[in-house]
Structure 1
Amino acid sequence: MSALNSNNTFDGLDEPVRPTPGGRKRRLDKENHKKQQKKKVRHSGGAIIPTVGCQHKAVATGFCQAEKLSPDDLMMNFNKFYERPNKVDQERAILHLLDITRVKRQRLKILDVNKRKDRNMSVKYSLLCSSHPEKVPICKATFSKVFGISKDRVSRVAKYYAETAEARPERRGGARHSEEHNRRRQLIVEHIQSFTCRASHYGRRGAPGRKYLPSDLNVHKMNELFEAQNHAQTSYSLYYSVFTKDFNLGFGHPATDACSDCAKYKIRITEPNLTETEKRMESASFILHRRRAHMFYDLLGRVAEGHVTLCFDMMQNMVLPKTPIGQAYYSRQMYLYLFGVVVHHGENSHQKKDDVHLYVWQENESSKDSNMIASALSDCLKVRLQDKVGRSRGLRLFSDSCFGQNKNMNMVSMLMELRQFFPNLGIEHTFPVRGHSFLPADRVFGRIEQKIRKIDTILLPQEYHAILQQFGHVHVYGTDWEAFDYRSATKECVKAQKSFKISEARMLDLSTNKVGLKTAYNGEFCFHSVLKRGKRWADLKPEILPKRTSVKAAKKRDVLALLGAIGVSDVVRAFYDDALYQVTDNAGHSDEDAE
């Protein structure tokens, strides 16, 4: 998997619906249908051998002199006819070989009027001959046999020409009301474009570019709305055809992690007790909230030349052991943590495997706190991306606003320490509006979860590592990287009482020895000194953090009981015995170390 597609429109933000080349369903390829193949063979003369279809003698006065034609002459006429696969062109070729005249005199051979055929035209048939400069006259039977066409087709061509003096046009098939049909299709396209859609949060389903309409809609409802709006009866099949073949749309599930402010404003605006003035104020606040959310993604998409942009986040915990048996739903399981760092190249860019770094550690090795997050990010910047960061003029970081992991002074201290390695590096850390924190890293997590969901049983961390290696570079704690105690080092160097609340920050500027803070995306930074008197950032020397389990005794009992129910091998049992060896009744940090 050399390149992983990334669509840089993010969930939680409405965007207009646009037609998608190819749509959600493929259009019918009629060229490969059996009926179409037979038609091609029929119109190309396949499996037809041109032969003489009569036994007339080639006398000087005979109307049929087919005996003069050699097999090569028959094949020459056959090839000239079928080199035109179009029916209209073929019938024009037939006309060149016919001599059609009006009947000048009719003799009464049959006295019975009902049985008499009063023909109004006379037709003479001929073929080309390579050894004769003029056409060779033949009968109708041979004419039809040479070209492999019916006598009725020849008669229809001659009759139409006798009546109109023109070649017979194509009258088969075709839409009877093509202009009206196309106009109605265009109206349907415009109606579908009047809706707003959202991209998938994690990209878990569908092809790249799939967007989702509100979950309370469906194609039937949209068709009814179209008919009510345009006052025109339209078949459901036509609306469905446009929906699936011109757009790549689905219908999203009801949101479970939606923005609470968005939900609050939507409810307030629809309250019947509000006055018009109050409704306008609520609407204005809602619009302002949405603009702030959009501004975050605008900043994320603007990748300046010479700058490195990183997005990072924690993935949902992976469980060990993963098993489909029913007991697993009622048992506590050990966690494998994953921290992802993605190098972002701007809007509509692709996520390559080399741009994704995945840091993993087990619950029995450490908790999921700011020390581990800061240590993993530090390793990524100092080791994995050392050359790229060293050559850049600035580092732009984007993450969610989780206080216990990303948005705290321990992370600030780590980034200030990073500037000791890269003195000329400017660092900005940007946080989204709450409820709108859908980052490029979530796209990677979605693809990983999609892969893991297809596997019923995973017993060892190495099995997870093998899956993760398909999506990025995997760095295992204790083998590829170490954790440092930034929390203790920060307490020694940073003042406890600060002149700002980091929880209110939208952007941080860490390009100098002072911490620059903005509570809005626009405006100027306000810089604050956070170091204790006599301390410098060079004095920040975090020590290596020893491994310490955060598994509790109750979870240990559940995991061991679950292993017994599964019936694992001795190798798997030995891994869990070693991982849970230090767990006691007093073990214990929680999974999330809130600060």
Structure 2
Amino acid sequence: MTSKLYLSPDLNMRRLHTAFKNKFPECSFVSYQFYRKIVKCDFPNYSFARPRTDTCRTCDLLAAKVKTANNDLLRQRLKKTLELHHMKAEKAMDVHRKKIAESKMPGCKFSNMAIDLQQVMFVPTLTHSDMFYQRQLSCYNLGVNISDSGQSYLCMWSELEAGRGGNEVISCIFHILNDAAIIHRKNIAIWSDNCVGQHKNKMAVLMYMFLIANGIYHTIEHNFLVSGHSFLPCDRDFALVEKRKKVTKAFIPSDLHEIVRSAKTTVPFKIVDMTDKPFFDFGEPAKKLLNAEKLKIKTVAGIKVTRNSIETGTVFTKSKSKGAWKPVKILKKNVSVQHLRALTLSSIEHCNRISVEKKNDLLSMIEYLPNEDHKKFYLENLK
């Protein structure tokens, strides 16, 4: 367990001081400055938690049930379940922290990679009141942090190029993994949240098997942290981007690229511009080649593919972060590793998903843009 302890996010030092004086009126002479100094000195491991918007669904549900439990026995049982859930989440994060440290050791044979999709960013950045009711252009950013090199890569695109479904996210990861200039080791450990639709799916498994079948990697291990408890390095990267975005306006997607480049001064972020790269269809070949139902992918805590296991069409799964790996034969009948080696990936056909209503909203914003190039961008792309 971590040594840091967090108080409720609705508290602060001023409120604690007020509560202290209310409880101990005989100590009302204690000044705020003196109280603050004592708390800081005597309780150095305590801090105020920040309010979170991406809370864990299980935590929220159990916490609500604890508050509404109508008897002590049920309340204690629910508290125990919540405690076990927190322990499970902490164990997974503990394994993650150890892997990060290990990947930085001299002679380590694996790379450690964290992936996460940032909340949608919108352009153009305009501030007049009509903007609250108008649809803007959605821009996407998949963060990839390589802990052993300390470098972060941000794969960026907009809805003009593609959506943000499984094929799009897996394609971004594929381009990173397939770039020898980024990953120098033959074994890799990947960490992400538990999002089934984006990177915890049969498309990801097929992509890993394809890379290993073609000799790009020896082992790929993907670990899924407990939902709502996945505090990844990408989150820190996104916080820097958001901080920079607050003081810099972006009118078109390439403006967001400049914001990202300037968001971090030491080891600046590197942008992978997905407008210049194809998005592949991993879904169709996954349907044809894999018997994905055997994986029970929604419930697993990790998936591992090795160059030895792939010869028999087998991958490994585990149900707990520190659990044992169990083999699962996943290739369909009459499908062999040769089919994976011979697989040709097809690009997703580009289709403009922007609705007529959104186009009209975006076109109505053009007159407010300060730059002729910005206006030209929307006129050309919203024909």
TM-score strictly above 0.5:
yes
Shift of 1:549: 2.1
Conservation of the 8 A alpha-carbon contact between 2:251 and 2:369: no
- What residue is the counterpart of 1:584 in the other structure? none
Gaps of 5+ in 2: 103-107, 263-267
Q: Distance in 1 between matches of 2:133 and 2:162?
A: 24
Match status 1:494 vs 2:290? yes
- What residue is the counterpart of 1:333 in the other structure? 136
Conservation of the 8 A alpha-carbon contact between 1:427 and 1:510: yes
* Matching residue's letter, 1:317: V
Conservation of the 8 A alpha-carbon contact between 2:145 and 2:234: yes
The structure 2 residue matched to 1:553, chosen from 344, 348, 356, is: 356
- Give the direction of change, closer, same or farther, for the CA distance of 1:244–1:563 in structure 2 (3 Å limit): farther
SS at match of 2:52: coil
- What residue is the counterpart of 1:403 in the other structure? 196
Question: After superposition, where does 1:318-397 map in structure 2 within 5 Å?
Answer: 318-345=121-148, 352=150, 355-383=151-179, 385=181, 388-390=184-186, 394-397=187-190
* Matching residue's letter, 2:280: F
* Matching residue's letter, 1:573: K
SS at match of 1:474: strand
Conservation of the 8 A alpha-carbon contact between 2:295 and 2:330: no
Q: Distance in 2 between matches of 1:389 and 1:476?
A: 24
Shift of 1:226: 5.5
Q: Distance in 2 between matches of 1:477 and 1:262?
A: 36
- Give the direction of change, closer, same or farther, for the CA distance of 1:274–1:478 in structure 2 (3 Å limit): same
SS at match of 1:383: coil
Shift of 1:15: 4.9
The structure 1 residue matched to 2:71, chosen from 274, 277, 287, is: 274
Shift of 1:379: 1.2
Conservation of the 8 A alpha-carbon contact between 1:489 and 1:541: no
Q: What are the superposed Cα offsets for residues 420-479 of structure 1, whole Å, 9 maximum, x if unpaired?
A: 343662221111112212211011001001000112x32222221112123411111243
- What residue is the counterpart of 1:435 in the other structure? 228
SS at match of 1:499: helix
- What residue is the counterpart of 2:321 in the other structure? 521
The structure 2 residue matched to 1:509, chosen from 304, 312, 316, is: 304
- Give the direction of change, closer, same or farther, for the CA distance of 1:333–1:427 in structure 2 (3 Å limit): same
Q: Distance in 2 between matches of 1:510 and 1:218?
A: 48
SS at match of 1:551: coil
SS at match of 1:544: coil
Conservation of the 8 A alpha-carbon contact between 2:92 and 2:322: no
- What residue is the counterpart of 1:288 in the other structure? 84
Shift of 1:533: 2.1
Shift of 1:248: 9.7
Q: Distance in 2 between matches of 1:387 and 1:282?
A: 44
Shift of 1:484: 1.5
Q: Distance in 2 between matches of 1:269 and 1:573?
A: 55
* Matching residue's letter, 1:259: C
Conservation of the 8 A alpha-carbon contact between 1:314 and 1:339: yes
* Matching residue's letter, 1:264: L
Q: Distance in 2 between matches of 1:430 and 1:509?
A: 9
Q: Distance in 2 between matches of 1:301 and 1:396?
A: 12
Question: After superposition, where does 1:532-547 map in structure 2 within 5 Å?
Answer: 532-535=332-335, 536=337, 537-547=340-350
Larger radius of gyration: 1
Q: Distance in 1 between matches of 2:174 and 2:196?
A: 18
The structure 1 residue matched to 2:211, chosen from 408, 418, 428, is: 418
Q: Distance in 2 between matches of 1:322 and 1:377?
A: 29
Tell me how many residue pairs correspond in the alignment: 360
Conservation of the 8 A alpha-carbon contact between 2:143 and 2:155: yes
- Give the direction of change, closer, same or farther, for the CA distance of 1:445–1:435 in structure 2 (3 Å limit): same
Q: TM-score, normalised by structure 2?
A: 0.85
Q: What are the superposed Cα offsets for residues 286-310 of structure 1, whole Å, 9 maximum, x if unpaired?
A: 1110011101111111123322110
SS at match of 1:540: coil
* Matching residue's letter, 2:356: A
Q: What are the superposed Cα offsets for residues 373-415 of structure 1, whole Å, 9 maximum, x if unpaired?
A: 111111111115455133xxx3111011212211110011111
Q: Distance in 1 between matches of 2:11 and 2:275?
A: 50
- How many percent of aligned residue pairs carry the same amino acid? 24
Shift of 1:332: 0.5
Q: Distance in 2 between matches of 1:465 and 1:264?
A: 38
Q: Distance in 2 between matches of 1:526 and 1:559?
A: 51
RMSD of equivalent CA atoms: 2.7
Q: Distance in 1 between matches of 2:96 and 2:26?
A: 44
- What residue is the counterpart of 1:300 in the other structure? 96
- What residue is the counterpart of 1:469 in the other structure? 261
Q: Distance in 1 between matches of 2:63 and 2:35?
A: 30
The structure 1 residue matched to 2:117, chosen from 314, 318, 340, is: 314
SS at match of 2:111: strand
Conservation of the 8 A alpha-carbon contact between 1:381 and 1:389: no
Q: Distance in 2 between matches of 1:429 and 1:263?
A: 27
Q: Distance in 2 between matches of 1:238 and 1:290?
A: 35
Q: What are the superposed Cα offsets for residues 310-363 of structure 1, whole Å, 9 maximum, x if unpaired?
A: 001111112121111211111001112111100124xxxxx84xx111111121
Q: TM-score, normalised by structure 1?
A: 0.56
Q: What are the superposed Cα offsets for residues 250-274 of structure 1, whole Å, 9 maximum, x if unpaired?
A: 6455433221222232333344622
Question: After superposition, where does 1:101-180 map in structure 2 within 5 Å?
Answer: none
Gaps of 5+ in 1: 1-13, 18-195, 198-212, 346-350, 582-595
Shift of 1:223: 3.2
Q: Distance in 1 between matches of 2:41 and 2:366?
A: 49
Shift of 1:551: 1.3
Q: Distance in 1 between matches of 2:38 and 2:244?
A: 32
